[in-house]
Amino acid sequence: MSESANPTFRVEGPTRLQGTVKISGAKNSALKLMAVTLLAPGKSTIHNVPDIADVHIMGELLTSLGCAVTFDGATVTVDVPEAPSVRAEYALVRKLRASINVLGPLVTRMGRAEVAMPGGDAIGSRGLDFHIAGLRDLGAAAHAEHGYVIAEAPDGLIGAAIELKFPSVGATENLMTAAVLAKGQTVIDNAAREPDIVDLGNFLIAMGAKIEGLGSHTISIEGVASLSPAAHTTLPDRIVAGTWAFAAAMTRGEITIEGGVAEHLEIPLDKLVAAGAVVTTVHNGFKVRMDRRPTAVDVSTLPYPGFPTDLQPMVICLNAIADGHALVTENVFEGRFMFVSELQRLGADIKVDGHHASITGLEVLSGAEVVATDIRAGAGLVLAGLVSDGVTLVEEGHHIDRGYPNFAENLCALGARVTRL
């Protein structure tokens, strides 16, 4: 990331997007794959890693734990020492929520972990109670102290039955990675089913773990004594692919999303079809075309395979310019409507009541200065800028850089007038 660390995205609208965009590896997979290399001493290699700031922060975190991390294009090699440090400091953890994914690997392999609590962010509070309760089920003494989660299991973890109160992605990942080196069998019920979980599980299996039920509500893990380093290719980013799909529909354009996996986006693509888009499968991806003003669509976010909360800003933006009235309900993160007040600066007609947003579509929005509050809100605001009259300035663009490699360049290649200031 050589460009400005905190750019403003300048968007000149309205625009119609047309062309092909290539999807890179998934942020939310790559970060976790990197974290779990800690489970085995030696060199593990992760391919198809996106060139985004978060990946480099995870690299710094692993370096701070004693690993040697090398980047070569889209490939990251992590050389893990026999005895990595077990303390992940707040200075790095605060920059990256996924840092919490070092908790499971460290406690199960080293018998102790001290990981700073990442804290909340602009999408609402993000608890760690399921992570802590699950580690306790596995026999660890785990508690929060002075802003750190401290987990101890000097004699190793012991397999257990764990029932998650909510299919949390992060808790499923941490507990699955902790259980792979526990003694005996662990069963995680009400597990998250996201493709990221399947990807992570497949990497763990390549390292020698015994896991069944990936992608279902119940994941069974038979602990093994040790794991070996392995190589893995990150799956394509379904949220980035979904963002381009919404961009095509909003701008009445046509985008071929190369490397996008339509099966990972079944419900969002169904919603786009309901809004009037034509979605077709093409060789190595899919294509979204929209020939008319979108029709308003109601959406409720839910854990996978439901409509992803990470695409909620995009569907709100689509509805802001759609024909009709829509209700968008957020069921995963309580504070995820914070960006709505920014969208209102572009003239959008939206009323928020608790976890419901009620949207009446307008023909066109009007360009203004807005602030990106998180990764997905930032991308959504850029899309809104594409369908606004005049210039939209999206400030705090570092959020966008955290999730979308070469966002401005990709937009320009599709015909948008976007610059990074």
Binding site for ligand UD1 (CB under 6 A): 28, 97-98, 125-131, 166, 168-171, 309-310, 332-333
Output the smallest distance, CB 194 to ligand UD1, in A.
6
Residue 199 designated active-site: no
Q: Which of 51, 121, 298, 389 is catalytic?
A: 121
By beta-carbon proximity to ligand UD1, the closer residue of 130 and 203 is 130
3-state secondary structure of 133: helix
- Identity of the amino acid at 385: G
By beta-carbon proximity to ligand UD1, the closer residue of 128 and 245 is 128
CA distances from 160 to 128, 179, 355, 407 (A): 19, 9, 35, 44
Torsion sign across C-alpha atoms 55, 61, 62, 67: positive
Alpha helices in 180-237 (DSSP H): 195-206
By beta-carbon proximity to ligand UD1, the closer residue of 254 and 396 is 396
Give the DSSP per-residue string, 20-37. Answer: EEE--B-HHHHHHHHHHG
By beta-carbon proximity to ligand UD1, the closer residue of 127 and 139 is 127
CA distances from 167 to 217, 263, 358 (A): 8, 20, 27
Output the smallest distance, CB 284 to ligand UD1, in A.
25
Output the smallest distance, CB 126 to ligand UD1, in A.
4
CA distances from 39 to 45, 148, 293 (A): 13, 21, 51
Output the smallest distance, CB 291 to ligand UD1, in A.
31
By beta-carbon proximity to ligand UD1, the closer residue of 15 and 168 is 168
3-state secondary structure of 340: helix
Question: Which residue in 257, 275, 281, 256 sits closest to 314, CA to CA?
Answer: 275
Output the smallest distance, CB 182 to ligand UD1, in A.
19
For residue 318, give both structure tokens.
Answer: 């689509």
CA distances from 237 to 24, 69, 123, 187, 193 (A): 6, 22, 20, 28, 15
Active site residue ranges: 121
